[in-house]
Amino acid sequence: MATSVKQMLEAANAAVPKITSEQAAEMINKGNTLVVDVRDAPEVAASGKIAGAVNVSRGMLEFRADPESPYHDKAFDKGKTVILYCATGGRSALAGKLLKDMGYENVYNVGGFKDWTGAVEK
C-alpha cells in the first residue's frame, strides 16, 4: 500500500519528540549533543544556522549518519543526543524518524529555524 507524505509525517511526529527552543538549549548546554540542520545549503547561507550545528541536507543524512558509509561524518555518534531542525519542522521530523530507524535513540525535533531563540552563526 502506498504511503502519503501526511502519513509519513504523522509516523515521524509520533516517533520523534518535539521540543521547544528552550528545551533544546538546555540539552545543548549539558553537552554530548549534536545539532543537525537538515536544510539545503542555500537556505543555510541565506539565514545562518544554530550556533554549533552541522548542516547535512536531508538527502545526505543516511550517508553521514551511517558509520559504514564512506561519507560518514564523525560528529554522528549513536551515544549522543541528536537535535534536528529545518525550515518549518517537516524535514526534521522525517530525518528524526530515519535516525531512530538507524538505531539512534535520543533524537528530538526542535522544528523550524524560525522558532529558534538562541545563538545563530552565519
pLDDT of 2 reads 74
In whole numbers, what is the pLDDT of the chain averaged over residues?
A: 96
Residue with cell 509519513: 8
Domain range list for the chain: 21-115
Burial 39-77 (b: 16+ CB within 10 A, else e): beeebbeeeebbeebebbbbeebbebbeeeeeeebeebe
pLDDT tens digits for range 55-64: 999 999 999 9
The conformation of residue 53, written as its DSSP 8-state character, comes to: P
Neighbouring C-alpha atoms within 13 Å toward the C-beta of 7? 4
CATH of domain 21-115: 3.40.250.10
Are 27 and 108 a contacting pair, CB within 8 Å?
yes
Of 2-6, 24-28, 37-41, 65-69, the one with minimum mean pLDDT is: 2-6
